[in-house]
Amino acid sequence: MIAWLRGTAVARRPDGVVLDVNGVGYLVAATPSVLRRAGAGSELTVETYLHVREDALDLFGFATETDRRVFRLLLGVPNVGPKTALGVLSAMPVDELSRAVERGDHARLGKIPGIGKKTAERLVLELKEKLRGLDSNVASLPVESLGNEADRLLSALVNMGYRPGEAERAVSALGPKLGSEPLGNLLREALAKLTP
């Protein structure tokens, strides 16, 4: 699986953004939060999900690990495919979706293109418990907002074998310590957060 990509946005198309990663152009169907940052020539880091079908490989892109996790939860709902799941995340942010599911707001969910009454009911039934435990505050910080020091920490943790999402949460949890403490101390603290 392709967990994330970092590269230069070279084109926006109706079906997504083309991301140049070391000379390879990846077409990524993406949420609006990614597309807003995808001006020509802009450097992007995108959390990704590779959907494998018999006749195609489709790559979906998200601004945060939380968005990708919710996308995967949506795929577990009967009659929700990847394009519908992307449509849900495009129509409402994760926190708004979580509130609508928690309240059982079928009317609000039914207004999302591609979601009818029965699918809205299934979303509430299938996701109510799963979205409740989702910590979107830490995991929703995009990698770009953390700065160069955070990028080096993320890279070090990923090179040590941690998944990008785990590494991003550990670095995000360091908060204001980023930029004010030596990199070695920050790495030890991030590792402590990752080790049970």
pLDDT higher than 90, residue 128? no
Domain that holds residue 100: 65-137
What is the tally of structural domains in the chain? Answer: 3
User: How does the average pLDDT of the chain come out, rounded?
Assistant: 83
Q: What is the CATH number of the domain that holds 17?
A: 2.40.50.140
d(CA 82, CA 88): 10
User: Which CATH number do you get for residue 130?
Assistant: 1.10.150.20
Averaged pLDDT for residues 167-177: 81
Q: Do 121 and 146 belong to one domain?
A: no
pLDDT single digits (tens) 24-81: 999 999 988 888 888 888 898 999 999 998 888 999 999 888 899 999 999 999 889 9
Instruction: List Cβ neighbours of 174 (8 Å cut-off, separation of 6 or more).
Output: 150, 153, 186, 189, 190
One domain for residues 161 and 184: yes
Residues 131 and 73 in one domain: yes
Comparison of pLDDT for 86 and 141, the residue scoring more: 86
Residues 33, 35, 36, CA angle at the centre, nearest 5°?
A: 65
Looking up tokens 């979706």 gives 97
Residue 8 has pLDDT above 80, yes or no: yes
Distance CA(27)–CA(12), nearest Å, equals: 9
In this structure, the answer to whether residues 43 and 95 fall within a common structural domain is no
Greater pLDDT, 194 or 146: 194
Q: Average pLDDT, stretch 8-34?
A: 91
